[in-house]
């Protein structure tokens, strides 16, 4: 008679690995043995596949997924949705976010939503909010993100108390190669040209070929366009208007506090409902961010298994993956909870 199996609690990352292995043709029985769990648990993971992938895709940090073991919802779900919507919007704007700012905003939404009881946005509540949505400590303390998904990784580890040794152990050789390739691609040809001119001053180039794209003026663009058929009358004023036409547009949907509250309560905007009544929609297949992210992950795995695929191809997919993640953070996250 076999002994009682020790209870194993899987992390979110473990569940994602199991989902991938199931998609690759792995059997429930084999995976149950590998992870020390029951076949019923494997079947439950398969059943909740979309929910797990969606939760993981909305996470800020993949390293935290290796620690988190549950997707337990907040006690105040409407407040949680409103806070996440507000947080993502502030991050998209690039506004600094601190713990006290989050606490003050949470208290505002609690009363604005008309919720009952006493609410104390304590440090414990803030910690649980960050853990639910895998928000890194460095971002909540002084949020100012850019598009680079790996920027600030070393600083983040140091802020969280991790030593350099553990950081370098987690950084794989493949990740290091990608970071080197990305850094090299950021170097402009003119920078390399100028560096060589200091080393080998005998090499001379025509001044007209040595320019920085950022130094091109509106007047220069106007001169070039005026030599183009059909654009002979273009002026600098025209070009300045073209460049400023979308300067006031943030590039993402900006919600007021009232709109955030309505979304948190599951209400739709009246203007959106009217537009849906007036416009006849053409049925089409909708692909959410979670599915797109999963496909890019699978495509990256495939490319890395092919020996004849060149590095730029893989870099394009990695950049696409980062773009999808950023788009997901700037859209309505309440549908993913």
User: Domain map of the chain by residue range?
Assistant: 12-65
Question: What tens digit of pLDDT does each residue of 222-270 get?
Answer: 787 777 777 788 888 887 877 777 666 666 677 888 888 888 877 765 5
Give the per-residue pLDDT at 138. 40
Give the Cα separation of 285 and 301 in Å (integer).
25
Range with lowest mean pLDDT among 145-159, 206-220, 314-328: 145-159
Q: Which residues contact 120 (CB under 8 A, 6 or more apart)?
A: none
Does 213 have pLDDT greater than 60? no
Give the per-residue pLDDT at 69. 55
Torsion (CA) 62, 63, 66, 68 in degrees, nearest 10: -80
Does 60 have pLDDT greater than 70? no
- Two tokens, residue 149: 């998904």
Give the per-residue pLDDT at 58. 60
CA distance to 68, 120, 144, 323, per residue, from 127 (Å): 13, 13, 19, 27
Average pLDDT value over all residues in the chain: 72
Of residues 192 and 162, which shows the higher confidence score? 192
Give the Cα separation of 332 and 329 in Å (integer).
8
Q: With a threshold of 0.85, does the pTM exceed it?
A: no
Question: What tens digit of pLDDT does each residue of 278-333 get?
Answer: 545 445 566 777 778 787 877 777 777 776 666 666 677 777 777 777 777 776 44
Give the per-residue pLDDT at 1. 46
Give the Cα separation of 71 and 76 in Å (integer).
15
Give the per-residue pLDDT at 156. 54
Does 106 have pLDDT greater than 50? yes
Give the per-residue pLDDT at 252. 61
Residue written as token pair 């394009």? 316
Does 173 have pLDDT greater than 50? yes
Q: Which of the residue ranges 44-53, 136-145, 208-217, 318-327 has the most confident prediction, judged by mean pLDDT?
A: 44-53
CA distance to 106, 183, 238, 245, 337, per residue, from 85 (Å): 12, 32, 38, 28, 11
Closest among 61, 80, 117, 125 to 99, alpha carbons compared? 125
Q: Give domain 12-65's CATH architecture.
A: Orthogonal Bundle (1.10)
């Amino acid at each position: 008679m076999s002994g009682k199996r020790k209870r194993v609690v899987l992390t979110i990352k473990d569940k994602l690995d199991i989902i991938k292995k199931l998609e690759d043709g792995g059997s429930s029985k084999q995976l149950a043995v590998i992870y020390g769990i029951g076949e019923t648990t494997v079947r439950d993971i398969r059943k909740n596949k979309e929910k797990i992938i969606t939760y993981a895709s909305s996470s800020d940090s993949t390293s935290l997924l290796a620690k988190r073991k549950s997707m337990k919802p907040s006690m105040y779900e409407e407040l949680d949705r409103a806070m996440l919507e507000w947080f993502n919007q502030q991050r998209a704007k690039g506004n600094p976010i601190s713990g006290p700012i989050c606490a003050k905003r949470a208290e505002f939404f609690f009363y604005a939503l008309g919720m009952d009881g006493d609410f104390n946005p304590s440090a414990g509540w803030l910690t649980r909010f960050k853990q639910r949505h895998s928000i890194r400590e460095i971002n909540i303390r002084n949020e100012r993100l850019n598009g680079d998904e790996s920027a600030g990784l070393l600083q983040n580890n140091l802020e969280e108390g991790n030593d350099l040794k553990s950081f370098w152990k987690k950084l794989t050789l493949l990740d290091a190669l990608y970071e080197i390739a990305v850094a090299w691609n950021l170097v402009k040809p003119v920078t390399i040209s100028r560096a060589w001119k200091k080393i080998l001053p005998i090499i001379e180039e025509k001044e007209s070929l040595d320019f920085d794209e950022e130094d091109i003026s509106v007047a220069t663009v106007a001169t070039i366009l005026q030599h183009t058929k059909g654009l002979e009358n273009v002026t600098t004023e025209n070009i300045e208007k073209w460049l400023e036409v979308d300067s006031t547009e943030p590039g993402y949907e900006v919600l007021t506090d009232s709109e955030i509250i309505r979304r948190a309560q599951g209400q739709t905007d009246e203007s959106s409902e009217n537009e849906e009544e007036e416009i006849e929609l053409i049925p089409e297949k909708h692909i959410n961010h979670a599915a797109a992210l999963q496909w890019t992950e699978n495509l990256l795995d495939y490319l890395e298994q092919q020996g004849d695929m060149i590095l730029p191809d893989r870099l394009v997919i990695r950049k696409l993956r980062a773009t999808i993640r950023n788009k997901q953070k700037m859209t309505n996250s309440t549908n993913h909870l």
